[in-house]
Amino acid sequence: MTAEPMEDRPARVEVEGPELLAKAFRPYERYRLVLHHDDGSRDSQVRDIVRGGRVVGLLGYDPARDLVVLIRQFRLSAHLSADRGNLVEIVAGLVEAGESEEAAARRECLEETGVAPRAILPMLRFTPTPGLTDEMATLFLGIVDADALPERAGARHETEMTQPFAVPVDAALAAIAEGRCINGFLILALQWLALNRARLPQLIAAVG
């Protein structure tokens, strides 16, 4: 048996659309497509997606105190699906037109924690829910001073209110291991931190 390489790859597909179904905070669109398979067969599909576009997340980290900087804010979807609407999260938000992912991560960190990162480094990229949205997320580690955190933050023009707080890294890792937090961005970011913890001093030194 030939080993299948573990990697994402382009699809052979003909796409027709979009048909706008609804336009609110994010557009909701319908596409019609013909998907060609490796065995020569093909099938027709209709797929509806929410257009999410580019987003970023940033895990705040204070290396002097070995703390992660997180936020707490209300999420209606988590309230409806799990009755856990008061979520613990990392900083996250949309990339604005003409803005780089790194610039967006810096801006969101200042807006949602009240503290600007002195340096940031890339972590990973992923699609949060590819069956529902085209959202593409880029995660960063942001080096911050946890002592400078205010009690409240958030972009007032977005009616956003966040509660920044700092947690020892070991306590944060224990929380996700025990299932006490359900936000996917948070879980992925902390798992990256756990995998790369031994080499954090070198990574941080490389970005200043």
Active-site residue set:
158
Strands in 51-184 per DSSP E: 54-62, 67-74, 86-89, 91-94, 119-126, 136-143, 163-168
Q: Which of 32, 62, 31, 35 is nearest to 169 (CA)?
A: 62
Rounded CA gap, 80 and 77, in Å?
Answer: 5
Residue 30, H or E segment? strand 27-36
Rounded CA gap, 183 and 170, in Å?
Answer: 18
Residue 40 φ/ψ region, left for φ over 0, alpha for ψ in the -120 to 50 degree band, beta for the rest:
left
Rounded CA gap, 182 and 176, in Å?
Answer: 8
Instruction: Calculate the CA 30 to chain-centre distance.
Output: 24
